[in-house]
Amino acid sequence: MQSVPTSMGAAGDNAYWSIESSELLQRLGTSASGLASAEAASRLAKFGHNTLVSRSSTSALAVFVRQFRSPLVLILIFAAAVSAFVGEGHEAAIIGAIVLASCVLSFTQEYGASRAMAVLKQRISRKTAVLRDGLECSVDSDDIVPGDVVRLSAGNLIPVDGVILDARDFNVSEAVLTGETFPVVKAPGRSAPEAMVARRTNAVFTGTSVRSGTATVLAAATGASTEFASIAEALEQRIPETEFARGIRLFGYLMSEIMLAIVILVFFANLMLDRPLIESLLFSLALAVGLTPELLPAIISVTLSRGARTMAASGVIVRRLDAIENLGSMDLLCTDKTGTLTEGVIHLDGWFDVDGNPSTDVLHWARLNATLQTGLKNPLDEAIAGAQGEGATSNLFTKVDEIPYDFVRKRLSVVVRTKQGEDLLITKGAVQNVLEACRFVQTANGQEPLNDGHRKAIDDKFRRWSADGYRVLGLAIRRFESRNAFGRKDETDLAFAGFLLFLDPPKQGVRETLAALAHRGIAVKVISGDNRYVAAHLAEAVGLRADRIMTGEDLSKLTKSGLFARAQHTDLFVEIDPNQKERIVQALRSRGHVVGYLGDGINDAPALHEADIGISVDTAVDVAREAADIILLKRDLGVLVRGVDDGRKTFANTMKYISITTSANFGNMISMAVASLFLPFLPLLAKQILLNNFLSDVPSLAIASDNVDPDQLRRPRRWDIRFVRRFMVSFGLVSSLFDFATFAFLLLFAHATAATFQTAWFTESLLTELAIVLIVRTHKAFWASRPSRLLAWLTLGVGAIAIVVPYAPFAAWFGFVPLPLSVLGGLIAITGFYLIVSEATKRWFFDHESHHRHRWQAMRIIGSGSKSRSAHPH
């Protein structure tokens, strides 16, 4: 086989869309039956994987280097270099060693987290149907190479740039590239060499999706050579910032403002007190590092990756890590009913003629339609094919043509030829959509003109069966003289032949699962294309309200503001057009809800993108899986409940680190800054501050594994920067109060020298920072909530180090001296009293916050009610 030219790997080098497909096959060294497996492997080695980024982007070296990008780390390295230059080599070595240890600590955590996530993502890698060795097989989309022949059908996300060799009613959504809302019709042929992407009607592109029909495509460009790759950076910038990422960013701003103010103030104040320049600079920078939650990126990575692994064990795969935090914040879940509220195993329960009598002809025609159609596979067709019943065998018929299903017609037609040479068009679909294409009714005596009496009888049966929980499809036929091709224009003058009744019973235990979601503060709203009667019947069966219904027709008449007002007071959105799903999610988000959307269909992708947390299932179509943030390996709301709990645990543990950092750390650094202005010596040397900060961070590495109290899982958790600020001030003031008490004890009672003061203050500040870990990690009394074993042992271990360090052989390197037992006993007593006061402060603070939150929620409800009333004047 001819090898593929190197230039053909890049879309721009050759206008492949303007070349005849036979010539392009030759240029690419392939054929219509695809590549040989050995040749595909060779090309994979040559062109690389079909991805936009290198698989080695999470290399150990890259992650390690990233640890040194922090401005504070770089400033400390610079300051250490200056110290060495002016002759303070001992000081510089200690500072350098502590900075290196911190970066290594952060690296081990972040790299381990990134590797764990890479393993999880492999579990949901996307597969594509390609021709290899002349046979159709399923391969990882990342392993497709130029020259591969790819088979596409409705719901597929297109994995390559290429030209169409063969297509049938092939419509592609190219909004991600062109911004065009409506699907584009694609067909084999040639486009002008200078044609822009939107005008290349014979070509498909990576990242776009198939809306309907089927096609065979020749891959011409993959990976970084695709059109999608050329705009990937711009597309990445369009991804909205998540609430959690915004919270982290605002927290970073808050800490930066505080650090900047303290560094400038302390540095210049110490210079005015005639302290040495280098010593003052190092002290100011060390204070900034002491205030900085420098392990926050690593803590977040570890906490999220641990949460992702825990969720994976429960059957929930996380595609985007920050989605875990959003899942914990979710207070509203929108879902379809099939497979989520119902068993998802659909049975064909009845096949009736127009008069409501069982009909073997209706079953036979339905089987021909279901088994011979080649479009999107669905459970209804599988149920028809597996139904037990009599009927003529399909081998008496030959398939002539097919008119694929689409979401406008809501019908699917198959044309078969009988032994007598007559062509029979069989149409099935939504009852009303089939009925609007009919002019006759099929009866036992032949065909009769369709009149108002027939329409009313059909509608009455449809409503009665739907109210009993059945999903009802209509079936119609039309006979033609033999010919080779049929189209949508032939779906007219049909004869309505009968009904197909499907039953999908409520899922066992779903009522209890919905109650568990409600107990966690999550309301459930159903968005379904099914009719109002089926949806209301199911809602009553599973314990949801069935009286607050909005149909797609009602929704289409509402303005944007009208929908915003009514959406949150609606529980069942029924007979919904796929394009309306995104509007509903947008309306619910506009009312301040954190919205999760569970969907698996072609038209769920826009709603999945719009939702705060897009949720899909492993069996979903490609475009839905790629739009989702979270994939359920089992379509079960019970799995989602466990995922919500894991998300809230992850959020709670992340906030614990922030709480710890912004309480004792903040108070200690503020106290040190103030003390440095009044003491004749620095309260701590720079290297002592850095050692203190390093040791106090060690227990934080176990935060990801800490236990979370059940009461912290009962309601959605959301970022609140004002809460963080209030928490920091409240607990920082308590910490500073005890710091000043320690200063008074050391100066007035112990008459400490500079070295003794610094040693004692190092020990006390480290003990209080460790003590606060046990206090703020729970809303309960600290003795009533057990920390994880790792967190407890690390906290106790570092506490022991804090007491032992002054007596260690290397103590002099850091400027420490042994402490008298009387001083050590006083420090332990102050720390114990600090524990008691911090516990009391915690109770007061959370009681106050709870009262504040309930008052705010009441005001929000009142405001919402008044807005709703103004939107619906009497």
Tell me the average pLDDT across 422-439: 94
Question: How far lies 111's CA from each of 72, 295, 429, 613, 649, in Å?
Answer: 21, 13, 52, 26, 22
Q: Give the model's pLDDT for residue 765.
A: 86
- Only one residue has tokens 């995104």, namely 582
More confident residue, 786 or 697: 786
Q: How confident is residue 801, by pLDDT bands cut at 50, 70 and 90? A: very high
Tell me the average pLDDT across 401-415: 85
For residue range 210-230, list pLDDT tens digits in order.
877 889 999 999 988 888 777
Please check the confidence at residue 37 and state whether its pLDDT lies above 70. yes
For 686, other C-beta atoms within 10 Å of its C-beta total 28
Residue 151 parent element (H or E): strand 149-153
Q: Which of 208, 212, 163, 209 is nearest to 188 (CA)?
A: 163
**For residue 294, which amino acid is it?**
E
For residue range 51-65, list pLDDT tens digits in order.
865 444 456 777 777
Please check the confidence at residue 291 and state whether its pLDDT lies above 70. no
- Catalytic residue selected from 322, 331, 336, 381: 336
**Residues linked to residue 449 through DSSP beta bridges, in sequence order:** 440
For residue range 614-660, list pLDDT tens digits in order.
898 877 777 777 778 888 887 778 888 888 888 888 888 878 877 77
More confident residue, 241 or 525: 525
Q: For all residues of the chain together, what is the average pLDDT?
A: 81
Lowest mean pLDDT among 191-200, 399-408, 510-519: 399-408
Burial of 790 (0-12, 13-18, 19+ CB in 10 A): middle
Q: How confident is residue 478, by pLDDT bands cut at 50, 70 and 90? A: very high
Q: Which of 337, 375, 381, 309 is nearest to 621 (CA)?
A: 375
Please check the confidence at residue 545 and state whether its pLDDT lies above 90. no
Query: What share of the chain in percent tops pLDDT 70?
Result: 82
Please check the confidence at residue 12 and state whether its pLDDT lies above 50. no
pTM of the model: 0.69
Residue 554 annotated in active site: no
Lowest mean pLDDT among 72-86, 184-198, 495-509: 72-86
Query: What share of the chain in percent tops pLDDT 90?
Result: 26
Q: Give the model's pLDDT for residue 650.
A: 80
Please check the confidence at residue 103 and state whether its pLDDT lies above 80. no
**For residue 756, which amino acid is it?**
T
Distance of CA 400 to the CA centre of its chain: 44
Please check the confidence at residue 109 and state whether its pLDDT lies above 60. no
Residue 497 parent element (H or E): strand 494-503
Lowest mean pLDDT among 206-215, 330-339, 743-752, 843-852: 843-852
For residue range 822-841, list pLDDT tens digits in order.
999 999 999 999 889 989 99
For 122, other C-beta atoms within 10 Å of its C-beta total 9
Q: How confident is residue 853, by pLDDT bands cut at 50, 70 and 90? A: low
Tell me the average pLDDT across 176-189: 76
For residue range 324-383, list pLDDT tens digits in order.
778 888 899 999 877 778 877 788 999 999 999 999 999 999 999 998 887 666 778 888
